A and B are shown apart, each in its own frame.
Chain A
Amino acid sequence: MKLTRDGWTGLACLVASLVLFGFTIGLRDNPLVPIGPGFYPRIVLGISAFLAGWVLVQSFLQPPPAGKGGANYRLVAGVFAIFFVYVGAMPFLGFRIATLFFITALQSTLEPPRGAKGWAIVAVTAIVTTVVCYYLFEGYLQVLLPRGRWTDF
């Protein structure tokens, strides 16, 4: 029997619920209060495990939905990767430098620039967004944006 999309969803949620349920067993009750810290989590995780099981069983009983196909998953993975690098680099490079690189990289990935005009649009968008965000949030809205550990900028 082959697992469908819903089957994988149900299985993943079932495993996660059971693992987390296992962690709640280590939570100790307190004699001062009638309800321990694990009481509610066990109810919630028990319910989620049951529902995940229901989805899993249902996936075997019902035909899988037809896939739409044609999705550009390579681009999706690329966007996620650039975003992870951006968030990971921000504490080291600071908001301004990381954002400048992020916008340049993401724009170029989503729609590769054509010629000097294309690159100029990318550069202007990156610089304007970074500068406007920085001065608007730090100067006007009193939101301190991250400074870089390496750059102190």
Chain B
Amino acid sequence: MYELLLAGIENLLHLKYFLPLAIGTLIGVVGGALPGITNTMTVIMVLPFTFGLEPLQGLAAMIGVYIGGESGGLITSCLLGIPGKPSSVATMFDGYPMSRKGEPGRALWLGIWASFFGGLLGGIFLVGTTGPLASLALAFGPWEYFSLFIFALSMVAGLTGASIAKGLLAGAIGLVITIIGNDPVMGQPRLTLGIGWLEGGIPFLPVLIGVFAFAQIMGDVEKMGRSSVDPAADLVIPKLVVSHSKVVWEILSRPVMLLWTSFVGVLIGVLPAIGGSAANVMAYDQAKKFSSHPERFGTGTPEGIIASEAANNSNVGGSLVTIMAFGIPGDAVTAVMLGALTIHGIQPGPLFISQEPKLAYGIFAAYLLGHFIMIAIMLVGVRWFLRIVLVPKSILFPIILVLCVVGAFALNNTMANVYVLVLCGLLGYGMVKGGLPLAPLILGVILGDQIEINLVRSLMTDENLWLFFTRPISGLLLFLSVASVVFALWQHKRAQKKGAVEDDGADF
């Protein structure tokens, strides 16, 4: 394993792979620093540029975006009190007060180095567990796969949004999208309404791009022209000089907290659709609970910054485990990566690591190297990234939408995918306005075909439906599916009693 990893790192150091990784990381940091531009949006923008590249080049660029984005968000969180993205919200709780107390450099670099160490711990988990988990999944038959995908979908539906019914409904809408087109067994057209370009089915990337791009952009457009407050109006770049050895020691002198919060991040990353924002807040909460001085949280304590940033970067490692071992995306960014892989004819899943070892270990290597590149980029340009907030959204949004169109069109050089993008843009915005979460929809669209294929395969092998329940792993997964829905129902009831129900908080 380690020989392959070293070979992967050596391979990644070649300019043809290193350059996309470095550029991706830079774009990720810039995108992360832009308030309102999430990692998903940045990776969607980068997606069309990867079509003409080799798979590893494209994936290295996307992993760079992912790592850079997770770290870039803390710049504005710490220095301006504006989270660059949802997964930097908790970083702001202590990062901004510390900056206000006259230590902006310390606040910023505590976050950056915590991201680095958290990310590397996530990398150890990624390298160490992907292979064994994939081996476990190799023993799966169609019954187990069907149950695994149902479990993933039910868990996401239960964990997102204020209502379990709406979460499940959103997942079902995702599944409905996948039944449009020719059936997988005999190729008979279904629900195409006589529209020719629907016969091939609806590819999930234009759905994902449309749903996320429009849901996010239109959410921001709604607020434009209403607010007269310009967050960057009185932007003053502070002095960020700091002793790096002191900052690193501040982090490493808290090994238990660093390990625990990184583990929280990884664990949340492994769960489908529960991404960096949940990891960021939950790790902050954990650090506060275990701290001997919880009253200091929110006033500029280093623990708050370290916990939240270590968790959101280790979360990336967890998300990559799920997609590489099971073919289930851990969040929207890995969903886009899954799409990029399928464009090159590569199917992530249990066989991925054994059939594509060069690519798999290249991904591990890109993930590990990306953190070093991120540190280098921050050392050189952190002062400049703060100026990013000055770029008006009226310039950014048209460019993003053009890249979305190019991304959808370039999938197979047809306008049909652009029309899907438009329809899904409307659907995504409509769902947000209707209070339906987007995470289950996307997971439904990604897993829908696989759910159907595995259901059909299992029934064609043996028509006995009880096998889904009597085969131990399948039965366990179905039990966990029901349990996750029941648990979510109980949680929602409890939250309703407390009056603390909030809408969609997922990262998908």
Which residues of A are interface residues toward B (Cβ below 8 A)? Answer: 5-6, 8-10, 12-13, 17, 20, 23-24, 27-28, 30, 32-35, 37-38, 40-41, 44-45, 47-48, 51-52, 54-55, 58, 65, 70-73, 75-76, 79-80, 83-84, 86-87, 90-91, 99, 102-103, 106-107, 110-111, 121, 125, 129, 133, 136-137, 140-146
Contacts and interface: CB of A to CB of B under 8 A. Distances in A.
Contacts, number: 182
Contact of B401 (A41, A83, A90, A146): A83
A104 to B, nearest CB: 9
B409 interface: yes
B351 interface: no
Contact of B224 (A75, A87, A140): A75
B185 A37 contact: yes
Given A37-B186, A48-B175, A51-B169, 16 more contacts: A34-B463, A35-B456, A54-B165, A65-B503, A72-B221, A72-B226, A73-B222, A75-B222, A79-B397, A80-B425, A83-B401, A83-B422, A90-B418, A110-B394, A133-B402, A146-B415
B406 A37 contact: no
A76 B175 contact: no
B399 A141 contact: no
Given A24-B191, A143-B51, A91 B415 contact: yes
Interface string B402-433: 11011001100101001101100110010001
B133 interface: no
Interface in B203-247: 217-218, 221-226
24 contacts: A5-B434, A5-B435, A8-B434, A10-B169, A13-B173, A24-B190, A30-B186, A37-B188, A44-B176, A44-B179, A44-B448, A45-B176, A51-B168, A51-B172, A55-B166, A58-B163, A71-B223, A73-B222, A79-B397, A87-B415, A107-B398, A110-B393, A111-B392, A141-B49
Contacts of B53: 141
Interface in B149-185: 162-163, 165-166, 168-169, 172-173, 175-176, 179, 183, 185
A109 B171 CA distance: 35
Contacts of A28: 188
Contacts of A145: 406, 409
Contacts of A27: 188, 190
Interface of B: 48-49, 51-53, 162-163, 165-166, 168-169, 172-173, 175-176, 179, 183, 185-186, 188, 190-191, 193, 217-218, 221-226, 392-395, 397-399, 401-403, 405-406, 409-410, 413, 415, 418-419, 421-422, 425-426, 429, 433-436, 448, 452, 455-456, 459-460, 463, 503
B169 A13 contact: yes
B169 A48 contact: yes
Contacts of A90: 405, 415, 418
Given A35-B185, A44-B172, A103 B179 contact: no
B251 to A, nearest CB: 39
A20 B406 contact: no
B398 A103 contact: yes
A6 B434 contact: yes
Contact of A129 (B176, B221, B402, B419): B402
Nearest to B192: A23
B34 to A, nearest CB: 16
A120 B393 CA distance: 17
B422 A87 contact: yes
B367 to A, nearest CB: 24
Contacts of A121: 395
Contacts of B162: 65
A103 B425 CA distance: 18
A25 B385 CA distance: 57
A41 to B, nearest CB: 4
B106 to A, nearest CB: 37
A111 B391 CA distance: 13
Contacts of A44: 172, 175-176, 179, 448
A58 B188 CA distance: 37
Contact of B422 (A23, A72, A84, A136): A84
Contacts of A87: 405, 415, 418-419, 421-422
B349 to A, nearest CB: 21
Given A27-B190, A54-B165, A141 B398 contact: no
Contact of A35 (B225, B433, B459, B503): B459
A40 B179 contact: yes
A129 B415 contact: no
